[in-house]
C-alpha cells in the first residue's frame, strides 16, 4: 500500500509540474486525394497485410511480405508494378488445427514477419504459418522457393500481432522474438551458423529478458556489434509494479559461446536503460520505434545517432509522444561503466561496488575463464541509463501518437546538414519535420491511409528520394520532396524545407542541387527578404488613414450585393501557421458591424457604411502577403435575393504577395504567380446560418467569396475576375402588392364604419326617454320644467338615486349641457 500511495503522489505532483507545450502544427496539410501531393498506391484484391518491407540496395526493387504471399514490386519508375508473386499459404489441415486451438480464422493464415537478404541471390523469409512458424529460401530473381521450409520457432513469432525484429549479417540470422506458442519465452538468438560457429541464444534461467516487446535491431560493422531495442518490465524498480522501461542491448557477432560456462549461450550480452525524460516530468518510458542515422562522410562512427519514438505509461505527461536521440558514444560509455548485480536470495538489484573482474558486453569473452564468464553471466544490467543528446527531448507532440519513424540527413543549399524526420501518426498521417536549433518545424503532413492500421511499417529509400508506407490495404509511395507545390519564392522560403530552394533563373521552387548557393533558402530563420533578395517582391503598406485613399484601391474581385444582405468573404490561408487580418481603406473594422470567423473569413450585413474595398492580409514569420481583395458594391436594382448557386472554378486566383519591410516604408510592387489547381465542379448549397428565423444558404464564389442570401426563386449574378457571367431578372410582385393594399383599405374602412356605428348607438340609448319615469314626473313638475326637459332628459333623480350613469359633471351630449345633479343649471331639484 505504501508503494502505491507513493506512486500516486509522485504521479499527481509531476502532473502539476508539467510545462506548457507549444503546439507543433504542420505548416501544410494534404488530405487523401489532394492534388497538391501526388502519391502512388499499390493494392491488389488478392493481396492483404503488405506490412513487411525490404528494399534493394539500389532502390529499384521493393520486396513485400504479405499474407500468404511474398511480392516483388518494381519501383524504378513513378508507378509501382507487380513483377512477381510467390504464394505461400498453410494447407487446410493446418488451418483447421489452428482454429481448433482456439484461434480466430482471420489470424491463422501465413503472415510474413521476417524478410531479409540472405546473400546476393536469395532471400530468407519466415511466416506465422497458422501459429506454427516456418521459414523458406527464395530466389530473389524468380521469386521461387529453393529449398523445403525450415522450422521457424525462435525465428518468427507465432502470433501475427506479436512484434519482432530480425537482421541477417554475413549469412547469419539474428532475431528477437518469442519461442513458444503462448509467447512466454522471449529470446535473442542466432541461426544459420556454419562451420565452427554455432547457433546461440540467451540462457533461459537467468531472467535476462522480462516480458519484452522487440522493436528494432541494427548492425554497426566497425563495432562488430548488433544492437537490439525493446521495452520490458524493469525489475530494478521494485517499488512500482510492472514499470515499463526502454532498453538497448548488445551482442558481438564474433561470439561463439563459452567452452564450459555459457555453452551455446551469449557471452557478450548486456543491456541498459534508454531514458527519454524531460525535467519535472515522468519519463516517456515505452519505446515505439527507432531508426539509425549514420554519421556524415568523414565523421567517426561514434557520432552515430539513434532516433526513437517514446510514449508514456501514464497520462500525466504534457505530450502524447516524444522523440529522443541517443549518441553511440554515450551508449558505449554506459556499457563500459558499472553494472548492477541481482541478489538471488532477496531478488533485489544493487550497484556493484567491488572491483570488476571483466567488462560485460566486451567482445572476445568466449575465450575467457569460467570465473570471468560467471561474472558476466550475473552482471548484465548496466548501472547507468543512456541519456538523450543534450539531456533534453528532441521533439514532443501534444496532439499526435507517433508509431513509426525514419530519419535522413539532408544537405541544404548552403551546404549545411539538417536532420529530417518522417513520422507516421496513429491516425494515418505522415509528418515531415526538420530539426532546428530552436526546436522542430513540421514542414507538412500527408494523409496516407484513412482507417487505423494495427501493423504498419516505413522504409526510406534515399537513392530514390521516396518513402514507402506498408499498411493492411497496400503500399503507398511518398516522395520526400514536394518543391513544385510552392509557387513563389516567399512560399518556398517559408516552407523551410531542406530539400527545396528557389531558383531565380527559372523562377520555380526546385530540389536542391549539389552546387552550393545562398539564394532562395533560409532553413533556420525563414527570412523571405534576405533569401529572395534577387527576386522582385510585392510590398505594400497597410491600409490606413492618409496611406491609401479609397480612389486608389485596386478593383479586386467585384461583389454585387443588395442592402441588408448578409455577406461572407473568404480569406484563403497561406499556410496553417499564418494569421489572416482584414483591412479597409481609411476605416476601422468594428466588431459591432463585422464578424471575424475562425477560418479567417469576414461576415457582415451590406449597408451603405459597409460597402467598399476589403483587403485580406496573411502574416507568417514576419512576412506579409495579400491573399484577397474585394470591392463590395450595391446592385442597381436591389431585390429579394434567391439562394445563390456558384460553380467552383477550375483554377485558384493568383494571390498578391507582400513583405513587411524591416528597414523602412519603401515600396516595391510585383505580383506572384500560383499554379493551377483542379477542384470538383459540383454545385454546393447548404444552409449554415439563420437570421431572425430566415434561412439562408451558402454558395461558393470562386476561391475567396461566399455570399449569404435569403431563399426565394431568383438567380444571382455571378462574377469572375470582376465580369458578370450570368444575369437574370427576378420575379415581379407588383400585382401582389396592389391586392394586399386594396384588402388593407377595405378592412380599415369596415373597421371605421363599425366604430362610428357603435358610438352613435351608445349616444342614442342614453338620450332615449324612459316610459315609466316620464309619465310619473310629468304630473309633478311645473309646466316650465316639463317644457325644458321635454327635448333632452339625460339625468333624473328618484329618491336621491341616479337612474343613469351620467354622474360626471359638465357632460355634453347632442349639444345640451347638464349639471352635476342631473338637472339644468340654476334649476332646483324636485322635492318629494
pLDDT at 356: 74
Interval 50-60: pLDDT, tens: 999 999 999 99
Task: Find the angle CA(514)-CA(516)-CA(521) to the nearest 5 degrees.
Answer: 105
pLDDT at 471: 93
CATH number 2.160.10.10 given to 1-30+208-399: no
C-alpha distances in angstroms, 454 versus 31, 49, 214, 425? Answer: 21, 10, 16, 12
Interval 732-790: pLDDT, tens: 667 778 888 889 989 999 999 999 888 888 777 665 554 444 444 444 444 444 444 34
Interval 558-607: pLDDT, tens: 999 999 999 999 998 999 999 999 999 888 888 889 999 988 899 999 99
Domain residue extents for the chain:
1-30+208-399, 404-453+481-535, 550-734, 794-832
Assign 74 a pLDDT band (cuts: 50, 70, 90). very high
By the 10 Å C-beta count (0-12 exposed, 13-18 middle, 19+ buried), 814 is classed as exposed
Averaged pLDDT, 638-659 = 41
Who's near 238: CB < 8 A, 6+ residues apart? Answer: 348, 349
Cα gap 28→725, rounded to integer Å: 33
Q: What number of CA atoms fall less than 13 Å from residue 721's CA on the CB side?
A: 6
CA nearest to 38, candidates 446, 567, 599: 446
Grid coordinates representing 747 are 378592412
Q: Which residues of 115-152 are buried (b: 16+ CB within 10 A; e: fewer)?
A: bbbbeeebbbbbbbbbbbbbbbbbebeebeeeeebbeb
C-alpha Rg value of the chain to the nearest Å: 44
The answer, yes or no, to whether residue 241 has pLDDT greater than 70, is: yes
Grid coordinates representing 161 are 500481432
The sign one gets for the Cα dihedral 758, 759, 760, 764 is: positive
Helix %, strand %, coil % of the chain (to 5): 15, 35, 50
Assign 239 a pLDDT band (cuts: 50, 70, 90). confident
Alpha helices by DSSP H, listed for 705-826, are 734-767, 771-780, 783-789
CA nearest to 376, candidates 358, 363, 394: 358
pLDDT at 453: 86
Grid coordinates representing 764 are 342614442
Q: Which residues of 753-778 are buried (b: 16+ CB within 10 A; e: fewer)?
A: eeeeeeeeeeeeebeeeeeeeeeebe
Interval 460-484: pLDDT, tens: 999 999 999 999 989 999 999 999 9
Cα gap 570→67, rounded to integer Å: 49
Cα gap 244→227, rounded to integer Å: 19
Averaged pLDDT, 228-241 = 89
pLDDT at 196: 86
CATH number for the domain running over 404-453+481-535: 3.30.1680.10
Least confident stretch, 105-119, 123-137, 362-376, 384-398: 362-376
Q: Which residue has the cell 451590406?
A: 606
CATH number for the domain running over 550-734: 2.60.40.10
pLDDT at 152: 94
- Cβ proximity of 710 and 694 under 8 Å: yes
Q: What number of CA atoms fall less than 13 Å from residue 514's CA on the CB side?
A: 0
Interval 27-38: pLDDT, tens: 999 999 898 898
Q: How many CB atoms lie within 10 A of CB 538?
A: 20
User: Which residues does residue 624 pair with via DSSP β-bridges, in sequence order?
Assistant: 619
Q: Which residues of 9-45 are buried (b: 16+ CB within 10 A; e: fewer)?
A: eeeeeeeeeeeeeeebebbbbbeeeeebbebbbbeee
Helix (H) or strand (E) holding 421: strand 417-425
Q: Between 47 and 637, where is the model more confident?
A: 47
- Cβ proximity of 456 and 445 under 8 Å: no
Q: For strands 602-605 and 594-596, give the pairing.
A: antiparallel
Q: What are phi and psi of 643, to 5 degrees?
A: -60, 125
User: Which residues does residue 804 pair with via DSSP β-bridges, in sequence order?
Assistant: none
Cα gap 655→574, rounded to integer Å: 9
The segment with the largest mean pLDDT, out of 280-284, 321-325, 339-343, 795-799, is: 321-325
Cα gap 3→239, rounded to integer Å: 6
The reply to whether domains 1-30+208-399 and 550-734 share a CATH topology is: no
The answer, yes or no, to whether residue 542 has pLDDT greater than 50, is: no
Amino acid at each position: 500500500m505504501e508503494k502505491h500511495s507513493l506512486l500516486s503522489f509522485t504521479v499527481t505532483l509531476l502532473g502539476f509540474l508539467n510545462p506548457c507545450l507549444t503546439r507543433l502544427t504542420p505548416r501544410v496539410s494534404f488530405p487523401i486525394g489532394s492534388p497538391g501531393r501526388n502519391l502512388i498506391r499499390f493494392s491488389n484484391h488478392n493481396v492483404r497485410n503488405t506490412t513487411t518491407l525490404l528494399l534493394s540496395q539500389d532502390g529499384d526493387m521493393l520486396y513485400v511480405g504479405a499474407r500468404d504471399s511474398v511480392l516483388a514490386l518494381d519501383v524504378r519508375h513513378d508507378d509501382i508494378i507487380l513483377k512477381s508473386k510467390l504464394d505461400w499459404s498453410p494447407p487446410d489441415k493446418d488451418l483447421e488445427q489452428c482454429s481448433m486451438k482456439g484461434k480466430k480464422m482471420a489470424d491463422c493464415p501465413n503472415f510474413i514477419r521476417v524478410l531479409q537478404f540472405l546473400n546476393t541471390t536469395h532471400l530468407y523469409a519466415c511466416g506465422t504459418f497458422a501459429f506454427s512458424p516456418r521459414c523458406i529460401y527464395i530466389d530473389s530473381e524468380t521469386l521461387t522457393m529453393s529449398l523445403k521450409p525450415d522450422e521457424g520457432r525462435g525465428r518468427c513469432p507465432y502470433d501475427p500481432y506479436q512484434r519482432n525484429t530480425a537482421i541477417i549479417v554475413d549469412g547469419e540470422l539474428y532475431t528477437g522474438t518469442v519461442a513458444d506458442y503462448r509467447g512466454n519465452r522471449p529470446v535473442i538468438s542466432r541461426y544459420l551458423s556454419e562451420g565452427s560457429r554455432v547457433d546461440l541464444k540467451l540462457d533461459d534461467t537467468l531472467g535476462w529478458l522480462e516480458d519484452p516487446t522487440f522493436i528494432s535491431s541494427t548492425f554497426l560493422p566497425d563495432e562488430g556489434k548488433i544492437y537490439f531495442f525493446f521495452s520490458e518490465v524493469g525489475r530494478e524498480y521494485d517499488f512500482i509494479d510492472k514499470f515499463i522501461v526502454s532498453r538497448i542491448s548488445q551482442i558481438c557477432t564474433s561470439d561463439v559461446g563459452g567452452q564450459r560456462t555459457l555453452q551455446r549461450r551469449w557471452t557478450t550480452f548486456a543491456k541498459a536503460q534508454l531514458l527519454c525524460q524531460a525535467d519535472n516530468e515522468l519519463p516517456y518510458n515505452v519505446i515505439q520505434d527507432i531508426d539509425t542515422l549514420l554519421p556524415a562522410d568523414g565523421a567517426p562512427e561514434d557520432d552515430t545517432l539513434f532516433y526513437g519514438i517514446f510514449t508514456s505509461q501514464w497520462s500525466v505527461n504534457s505530450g502524447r509522444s516524444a522523440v529522443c536521440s541517443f549518441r553511440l558514444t554515450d551508449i558505449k560509455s554506459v556499457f563500459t561503466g558499472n553494472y548492477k548485480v541481482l541478489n538471488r536470495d532477496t531478488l533485489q538489484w544493487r550497484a556493484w561496488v567491488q572491483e570488476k573482474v571483466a567488462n560485460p558486453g566486451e567482445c572476445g569473452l568466449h575465450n575467457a575463464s569460467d570465473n570471468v564468464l560467471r561474472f558476466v553471466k550475473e552482471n548484465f544490467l548496466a548501472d547507468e541509463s543512456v541519456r538523450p543528446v543534450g539531456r533534453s527531448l528532441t521533439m514532443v507532440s501534444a496532439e499526435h501518437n507517433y508509431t513509426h519513424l525514419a530519419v535522413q540527413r539532408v544537405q541544404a543549399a548552403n551546404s549545411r546538414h539538417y536532420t529530417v524526420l518522417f513520422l507516421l501518426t496513429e491516425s494515418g498521417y505522415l509528418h515531415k519535420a526538420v530539426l532546428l536549433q530552436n526546436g522542430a518545424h513540421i514542414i507538412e503532413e500527408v494523409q496516407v491511409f484513412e482507417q487505423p492500421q494495427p501493423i504498419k511499417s516505413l522504409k526510406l529509400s534515399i537513392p530514390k528520394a521516396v518513402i514507402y508506407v506498408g499498411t493492411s490495404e497496400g503500399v503507398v509511395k511518398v516522395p520526400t520532396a514536394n518543391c513544385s507545390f510552392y509557387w513563389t519564392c516567399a512560399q518556398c522560403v517559408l516552407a523551410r524545407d531542406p530539400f527545396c530552394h528557389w531558383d531565380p533563373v527559372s523562377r520555380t521552387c526546385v530540389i536542391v542541387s549539389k552546387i552550393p548557393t545562398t539564394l532562395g533558402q533560409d532553413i533556420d530563420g525563414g527570412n523571405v527578404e534576405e533569401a529572395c533578395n534577387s527576386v522582385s517582391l510585392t510590398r505594400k503598406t497597410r491600409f490606413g488613414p492618409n496611406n491609401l485613399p479609397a480612389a486608389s484601391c485596386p478593383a479586386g474581385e467585384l461583389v454585387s450585393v443588395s442592402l441588408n444582405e448578409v455577406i461572407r468573404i473568404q480569406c484563403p490561408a497561406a499556410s496553417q501557421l499564418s494569421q489572416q487580418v482584414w483591412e479597409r481603406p481609411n476605416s476601422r473594422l468594428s466588431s459591432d458591424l463585422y464578424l471575424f470567423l475562425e477560418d479567417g473569413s469576414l461576415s457582415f450585413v451590406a449597408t451603405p457604411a459597409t460597402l467598399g474595398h476589403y483587403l485580406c492580409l496573411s502574416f507568417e514569420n514576419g512576412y506579409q502577403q495579400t491573399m484577397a481583395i474585394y470591392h463590395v458594391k450595391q446592385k442597381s436594382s436591389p431585390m429579394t435575393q434567391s439562394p445563390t448557386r456558384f460553380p467552383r472554378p477550375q483554377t485558384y486566383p493568383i494571390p498578391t504577395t507582400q513583405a513587411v519591410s524591416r528597414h523602412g516604408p519603401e515600396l516595391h510592387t510585383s505580383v506572384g504567380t500560383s499554379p493551377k489547381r483542379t477542384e470538383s465542379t459540383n454545385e454546393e448549397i447548404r444552409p449554415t446560418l439563420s437570421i431572425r428565423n430566415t434561412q439562408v444558404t451558402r454558395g461558393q464564389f470562386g476561391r475567396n467569396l461566399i455570399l449569404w442570401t435569403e431563399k426565394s426563386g431568383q438567380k444571382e449574378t455571378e462574377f469572375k475576375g470582376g465580369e458578370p457571367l450570368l444575369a437574370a431578372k427576378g420575379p415581379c410582385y407588383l400585382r401582389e402588392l396592389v391586392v394586399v393594399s386594396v384588402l388593407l383599405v377595405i378592412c380599415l374602412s369596415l373597421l371605421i364604419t363599425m366604430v362610428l356605428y357603435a358610438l352613435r348607438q351608445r349616444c342614442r340609448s342614453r338620450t332615449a326617454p324612459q316610459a315609466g319615469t316620464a309619465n310619473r314626473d310629468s304630473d309633478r313638475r311645473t309646466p316650465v320644467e316639463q317644457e325644458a326637459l321635454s327635448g333632452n332628459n339625460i339625468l333624473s333623480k328618484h329618491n336621491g338615486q341616479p337612474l343613469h350613469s351620467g354622474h360626471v359633471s359638465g357632460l355634453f351630449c347632442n349639444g345640451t349641457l347638464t349639471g352635476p345633479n342631473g338637472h339644468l343649471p340654476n334649476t332646483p331639484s324636485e322635492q318629494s
